[in-house]
Chain A
């Protein structure tokens, strides 16, 4: 007889371990376990069968792989954690005894330093792996770089985050590897391509972040600790591939003056340069702090140029694959039914030369940091701004004649409405009255910059003139999909056959209602929320009813024809509903006729009749299609049918969404036309 197998010794029961068990096994506290998991990238797993995996009857448990925990057991950090715990005990003891000096000494000198180098190497064996996982790191670090310092977030951490992110931005500027950017509600999205890896991150707008109570900063700080180390190593690697010295020179003085990006000075590393020389440089760096930021800027420019040369040389030697040919040929499909393969849309050269010939001046009201970053990454080297925005500008003088483009973001107000500028303004730079236009330069709104880089070409600046209604700002990442809605394409291209007519028919009443609703709402302003409520409800009801009305004449037929024999109960119910709705609608129609005279009549009646006939035809066709589908479904096996229904559901959701957008647009377009008439 075979040996009786003991329960819980093999299979899922052995492969999975609950969190409590894991913590016990590692003999560390839960917060330490959390930190360790974050550092090591260990995440819980979902067992295929929870009941088999857990030994207890408690249903809600987190499971880890036993082997993952086994792996954590060998982590050198564990010892550091224990040291930390021991130190914490010592500090607590000396504090208890009132030996504050002792405690501070212990804390200062004996705190074990965690080094995450080995973990980074372990988690990202190759540099590409690290680049691939940089999305979250950048987003979080950019957030922390913009956070105010608090008890949870020490200024040191913020400074470190700022430093690494600026260094990273400098790399992107140098290599022109920023590709896309998008102004969203949440913040500014950027996408860069480094060594073939697309990295996307989100930078918040510069406002003080609202912090809710339910945010645990310890967890975030752990992530930040890991990410700063990671980004530091990535930066080192990126800089060294360019032949630049890392870390770049950091001018604390200009940083204090708000130079931000300009506080860094990139330096090339010559072949013979030894680490000693770097140290010497450091010392000189300190002494040369007094230099004017403009000079620094000039230096930066110079270095960037040289670095660019370096890079091209390097790449010719090392990475010939990435830049084998200068420009990629555009492949155009010759036949419409063929698949189109995605192609990189912007090469480095194009990106590097987009804004190269221009001199920009950034007005005070525009966000300097993102604009500077983007302009620089797309080849612009001469950017001026107001002195209040900080150091590092090409010029602080708004009247500088070299300026070709000025980015402004203020409404164009008539001259008279502007408050008078104080006559005696000593400030030499602040000579220009806000709102005045200096001839010889192009005034654009900030969105122009983003739209230009996303399109990869310079757009018409007059569309983005100050005070003008901007064209919609579109996300560069949305690819037009089949059945999806694309705002770029015209409505006629993407709508289904006869959809417009159908929609018009059904929508006419609704629209009316909506319009009146809106009008009422506007008229009433914020008078009573209740009335608005009612209106809304009415509108909603009407939508349903009009639909019914449209197909009302065919209702009978539909009832007869519909092959919905399987949900007959529902059908009968809906029948009742329909009937009720119809009568109600009749009443409403009467009321409407009494109150609001219906505009459509006479000559328009004929056209509408025709249209309605067409709509009817389309509707019946649709119904037929549905019937056919039902028939086909009947012949499928249950399993397949379920699968199909699932797929249909998601597809339908998408297409419904698209249809909704189309109908909205149709309405808008109609409204516009009406307005034009």
Chain B
């Protein structure tokens, strides 16, 4: 049974969103007006989506029903994905799909917690923050220090949002795989087959059958009918594009922004097209 649980502090009937924001005072605050910015820490209470099943399709159905009940509640809501209940052997392939799904419902997934090493790496590739236990503890102690929040009793479900200290203090960009992993496939990609060009472009010089899955960190080119799924920019590259000679895809996705066959305009089907992100909106254009 597929299930996703949405746990949120806001479910507790708090009066205003403002009360969910906890300002943490001076110890963490580094104010320096001469540098033109202030660096300070703050805690936020946020909804968490706890995954307990690797079946993304089932999750999608349940999530759809949930969002239906209160579409405004989820619009532009930052959410954290909790992987602690997720089967650790389930791999990471579902994560990009889940992120796309959440974005599709107007949510802003920005971090994960409770994932294993592999899942964290996948999350990092999607430019999601890894919310480690240290952040959680910091949040809890902060809550205790704040008399207005101490009676809330919802800390378990809340995830404090803090900048990724590692990235800022070291001044290094997040680690990226070198973009050398381009692949060319000259045989048809059959139903049930999955091709992943990690760190590069994927070119298919044959047909891609329905039920096949193409994934690439870079662009995807298909010189033949594309009937399966194509997911470009798997590691969050918003510039990635999909090019195909004959668009009949079941699903196309760029950096987690996706469209299923049903939402691909009929006038594009069967034509050579390119698919790209424009202001984070997936666009399909005839070539």
Q: Do A and B bind each other?
A: no
